[in-house]
Amino acid sequence: MKTKAVRLYGQCDLRLEEFELPQMKEDEILAKVVCDSICMSSYKSSHQGADHKRVPNDIAENPTMIGHEFAGEIVEVGAKWQSQFKAGDKFSIQPAINYENGPVGVLSAPGYSYRFIGGDATYVIIPNEVMEQGCLLPYNGEAFYPASLSEPLSCVVGAIHANYHTTPGSYVHAMDIKENGKMALLAGVGPMGLAMINYVLHREDRHPSLFVVTDIDQARLDRAASLYTKEFAASRGIELHYVNTKEGDAVATLKEISGGTGYDEVVVMAPVAPVVEQGDAILAQDGCLNFFSGPSKTDFSAKFNFYNVHYAATHIVGTSGGNTEDMKESLDLMGKGMDPAGLVTHIGGLNAVVETTLNLPSIPGGKKLIYTHIDMPLTAITEFEEKGKTNPVYAHLDELCKANMGLWNAEAEKYLLANADKLN
């Protein structure tokens, strides 16, 4: 079977090509990719090439498919896996399979390391190790895009589960956030911050009683407040506040909202030293600061109050990515109706992947969602109305998104896939 895919040949050398897939083996699965959301990790690997830890050294001769936040539908199942999977099943993939015998050893991952599997493709062959490691994950939702976004959401899930607290009088650490505790999310209305808000409000087994989200961009705060409302939070037993910390004494304001106690959980969503230090200053007794956003500089540092570490038992934790169980939890929540569409700001086709990936940091907005079987320039959802003046497909997509608070949605996806040939 032929596939179209974006492949990595070297630093900043991405190529959209059509080629023949090898014959599927009895321990492999042939799958159709429907969509992939482009991640900053793909930007990093495309610029670093073989210097990236997950990318093989021989990509100039054996290029790898890129894209690791993808979802699709199984086409054919090899004999080994026919008791567990069948044609027509929807799926997502946990890319961090950590397969020791893969192309680059324990860091091997679809979307970085493999020649015939990656999210920016029409068809792929899922290798045996993905199933062996339990990383081919069933998905039962209506639309495909939530499954594509389950990987970034799993990073949020993993971060929250990594929080911990101490038990007075012992050395036992209680994992996860405190039930009915106080939580602050700093610089929290970017794409991953929105994912964090969505998860905290929808999580079924544990909630804070107070949840404060900050940023210095009022427009972004207003958008977050319209997507994840105080009223919905109250229905979940959570007192939600959105606070602009651009002016005034942010530490004093946040402490006042907490009732003077400070916060049991402080999640820092930006690698900015003053924000980290602000988080440290508002920690409560036994408070946990979660440093979520990975810095690009290896010498990044910030001040931390070690008097409080000693006498108030404050502490810090950080995570990078989520594991398979975190991704399963994400898929389960989305199968039950939790919609991650607030992360998505742009839609495009496979033809838009190369330029988008190589220039991702300079493109504003949130997640860029790619539908791999269509040709469509990367288009902001907010641009649908203007494009709709000359193309009725964009006009109808605009109507569908406006009817859903300006967000991408299952009906829009279905319409796009059915009418993609009329886009150009």
User: pLDDT tens-digit profile of 384-394?
Assistant: 999 999 999 99
Q: How would residue 292 be classed by pLDDT, with cut points 50, 70 and 90? A: very high
Return the CATH class of domain 1-149+340-424. alpha beta
For domain 153-318, give the fold.
Answer: Rossmann fold (3.40.50)
Q: Report d(CA 83, CA 232) in Å as an integer.
A: 42
Least confident of 44-53, 54-63, 95-104: 95-104
Q: How would residue 97 be classed by pLDDT, with cut points 50, 70 and 90? A: confident
Q: How would residue 423 be classed by pLDDT, with cut points 50, 70 and 90? A: confident
pLDDT on residue 169: 84
User: pLDDT tens-digit profile of 67-78?
Assistant: 999 999 999 999
Q: By percentage, how much of the chain surpasses pLDDT 70?
A: 100
pLDDT over threshold 80, residue 424:
no
Q: Which residue has the higher pLDDT, 320 or 282?
A: 282
pLDDT on residue 246: 95
pLDDT on residue 295: 82
pLDDT over threshold 80, residue 79:
yes
Q: How would residue 3 be classed by pLDDT, with cut points 50, 70 and 90? A: very high
Domain ranges for the chain: 1-149+340-424, 153-318
pLDDT over threshold 80, residue 296:
no
